[in-house]
Structure 1
Amino acid sequence: MDIKLPVLKVQMLGGLSLMFGEEPISFSRNTTTKAMKLLQILLYYGEKGISRNKLIENLYKAEELADAPNSLRVTSYRLKKMLVNMGLPEHNYIKISKGIYYWNGPMETKVDVHEFNRLIQKAEAETDEDRQMGYLREACNLYKGELLPGSSEEEWVLIESVQCKKMYSSALQQLCDYLWEKEEYEDILRLCEPACAMYPFDEWQAVRIDCFMAMNRYQEAMNEYESTAKLFFEELGISPSEKMIDQFKYMSERMSNAPQTIRGIKSRLREEEIEAGAFYMTLPRFRDSYRLVRRIMERNGQSVYLMLCSLVDGKGAPLEDPEKLGTMSEELMSAIKHCLRKGDSFTRYNPSQFLILLVGTNKENCGLIFDRIERYFSREHKSWKKHLEFYITSLADADKDSAQIVFQKNGIRWEA
């Protein structure tokens, strides 16, 4: 009598993991070996199988193709041995028929990406809208991220992963549109939350903002916008889309329709906790602050300067090395916040540049501010001084087309 084996559950979306019944399978060593790559390919193609030529193409680099048939035999042997060592029963796990290679486990094998594709196909074939949306919901809940992210450098993985993401995004959009018509806003918020985490730059946050506004929860909508805008500026150095900026304007106009007392309004306006150092703003808010200060200057003649702090490669060219830029940018942000007064404000203009608005200072003090920031920034790494450049201009002259740049000995560049 045959013994019924536990089910082998395989997760490929969002990462690779195997469960044999209730027991996790450990990959003890390197998951990028040829045997592991072969396992991933066989599990992914499953019952469809993969041709020998395509398998060799996906498994070996161009320089390895000369002896690929023999290498494939060796890799297949190592895979079978590896599976047994991982705790699976002895079996011939690779079936070859007419030049097609198949996964041939003795147990039922469930692969999440197969189930995901099956649900998408069922939804496409379904004519009843409610049942169709049920399949799409199951598919979206099953999707945990990119296909085999640990093997994303493999061309076949990249191609299949892009296709999976496209199906997920389409399914989620259809589902959101359907739920929007039914005013199921809370449901949309829950569905879009993992999408925002997996693909923060695909602007699923805009869908969440729409839901918050539809429920008159403008403060939550504003929080979603601000965290997204900060992410875009700090990671990519870009602004949110026009749609999100329009949402921001709409929210600003409708933060509260109910009449408020002046005391209540003041309470909502003030900072919950006043931090030491300069005030950090997102770029849109900094832009509004800049415009307001310009208007105030015209009335009271107060001295205001705009300072641009740039990270360079030591030769004056923009710093582009991602790892070095990330480290130095965070350190420069900390230095600016630490070295300026509470009444000064600043923003990250792009990953390598910061803008500082200095109110009520003079030309001489700008040099002192530069010195403070430079000393703090390079306190642990003296060589970092060569990676800083400063441009300073008076707001009174900021819009003059005839402004010239004057280079001074201490590294500050004045626009006069």
Structure 2
Amino acid sequence: MKPNYEITMFGEFTISNGKEIITDQANRSKKVWTLLEYLIVHRDRAITQKELVDLLWPGNDTKDPINTLKVLMHRVRTLLDELGKDSGKKMIYYKSGAYGWNDELKYSIDTAEFEAILQHGSEADKDKKLDYLLQAIRLYQGDFLQKNATDPWIVELSGVYKAKFLQASSEAAEMLFEQHRYTELISLCRHVIKFNPYEETFYLYLLKALVKTQQADKAQEEYRHISELFFREFGITPSEELTAIYKEVVETSHMPEMNLEIIKEKLTEEPTEGSFYCEFEFFKTIYRLEARSAARTGQSVYIGLMTVMNAKGDDLPNQKTTNRVMDALQETIRRSLRKGDIFTRYSLNQYLIMLPTTTYETSNMVMERIKKAYRREFPNTPVLLRCSTTPLTPDELKK
């Protein structure tokens, strides 16, 4: 039988009767939503006024907490009345100094369905387990009550649901991969990554599935996205396993093509100004090619390192500031170098620059030019740019 009310708590908090809907995206007091959510989460019991007062006004920062609670409860019931006349009184009862959610109503809650489906899956055989896992995963549309995710009473529950979601997703991904259901696996990974963008396991499965479905270009795009994301957030590169898959994609991504003009067209770069920015893996390859060339021709190549610090020579105060400065510096470097020069982001606050056919003096002049250009463009940004250069020598090939 279809329930009279449908409640969602994953992501956006909503209550719907099939026609009208109330949602925590509406402009209401935070305490109104907190009170309503708490009653529903603890729907299996009556909640004393004292417990609610302690929840809503910790430290007793209100003069008349009981009356203030009554006023707030009236506002909650008024909100619920948007679902039908007297809905507030039907949904929330008061008895012997305690409030509670009317558990006799016919309603569904996504969190309860999620738990029940996972339980069915744990008891099912392998053939049916995957279907249960996928059903549960689809229900997860964001972290538990994510708008109030920092509230102490929500944090622990949110962590529990997220752990169950990731465990179910990991099991489902493994089974989909084993069964060669790559299109479904791609959808699953994108769904998980949407809510958990730093879970590398699902990037691994995503790249593998894209390779299996001959979507090499998309696999390369995903790797570039991962590289940038991990650099910006943590100052690290993707794992060796992810990088190995990426290299495999690059090496095997092209189908046989006999028309050299078509191949040349694919190789041709879109018209751009300034130097060439690339991922660190590409930079390493080009570095090794330049080392080979230097061994053969004897020409000089220099590598420059530019490190961003605060005015005192320490790390910048936070990640947001670091990313803002690094984005601006990337543009300055791109415009300050020749079109044939190459640079990459080496760490959270460092860029590596390759300067072929330069001398020690010239390479230092180039680095100073970049520093001056940045100061000129961003005179009010209190950062220190530390630069160093070193020659790429033919002797490196002998190591």
Shorter-chain TM-score above 0.5: yes
For 1:4-403, list aligned pairs within 5 A.
7-25=4-22, 30-31=27-28, 33-47=30-44, 55-62=52-59, 64=61, 71-84=68-81, 86=82, 88-90=84-86, 91-92=88-89, 93-95=91-93, 101-104=99-102, 108-125=106-123, 127-203=124-200, 204-256=202-254, 259-261=256-258, 263=260, 266-267=263-264, 270-384=267-381, 386-396=382-392
Q: What residue identity is the alignment partner of 2:296?
A: R
Q: What residue identity is the alignment partner of 1:281?
A: C
Report how many residues are paired.
392
Q: What is the TM-score with the length of structure 1 in the denominator?
A: 0.81
Shift of the 6–133 alpha-carbon distance from structure 1 to 2, 3 Å rule, reads: closer
Q: What is the TM-score with the length of structure 2 in the denominator?
A: 0.84
Shift of the 328–32 alpha-carbon distance from structure 1 to 2, 3 Å rule, reads: farther
Q: What residue identity is the alignment partner of 1:338?
A: R
Shift of the 8–211 alpha-carbon distance from structure 1 to 2, 3 Å rule, reads: same
The 1-side partners of 2:269 and 2:392 are apart by 34
Helix, strand or coil at the partner of 1:192: helix
Q: What residue identity is the alignment partner of 2:234?
A: L
Which range is displaced more, 375-384 or 156-165?
A: 375-384
- Deviation of the 1:248 alpha carbon: 2.5
Helix, strand or coil at the partner of 1:315: coil
The 1-side partners of 2:36 and 2:166 are apart by 28
The 2-side partners of 1:294 and 1:100 are apart by 77
C-alpha deviations, 1:347-370, integer Å up to 9, x for none? 122232222111122344335434
The 1-side partners of 2:193 and 2:157 are apart by 21
Contact 2:12 2:24 in 1 (8 A): no
C-alpha deviations, 1:181-227, integer Å up to 9, x for none? 32211111122111122222102121011223334544443333233
Which segments of 5 or more consecutive residues in structure 2 lack a partner in the other structure?
none
The 2-side partners of 1:166 and 1:22 are apart by 33
Contact 1:305 1:392 in 2 (8 A): no
Which range is displaced more, 171-180 or 136-145?
A: 171-180
Shift of the 51–281 alpha-carbon distance from structure 1 to 2, 3 Å rule, reads: farther
- Deviation of the 1:149 alpha carbon: 1.7
Shift of the 135–64 alpha-carbon distance from structure 1 to 2, 3 Å rule, reads: farther
The 1-side partners of 2:360 and 2:385 are apart by 17
CA RMSD of aligned residues (A): 3.4
Query: Identity across aligned pairs (percent)?
Result: 28
The 2-side partners of 1:306 and 1:145 are apart by 45
Helix, strand or coil at the partner of 2:387: strand
- Deviation of the 1:159 alpha carbon: 1.0
The 2-side partners of 1:129 and 1:273 are apart by 50
- Deviation of the 1:168 alpha carbon: 1.1
The 2-side partners of 1:351 and 1:211 are apart by 30
Contact 1:8 1:21 in 2 (8 A): yes
Q: What residue identity is the alignment partner of 2:166?
A: S
- Deviation of the 1:243 alpha carbon: 2.0
Which range is displaced more, 13-22 or 191-200?
A: 13-22
The 1-side partners of 2:251 and 2:122 are apart by 41
Which range is displaced more, 65-74 or 322-331?
A: 65-74
Which segments of 5 or more consecutive residues in structure 1 lack a partner in the other structure?
401-416
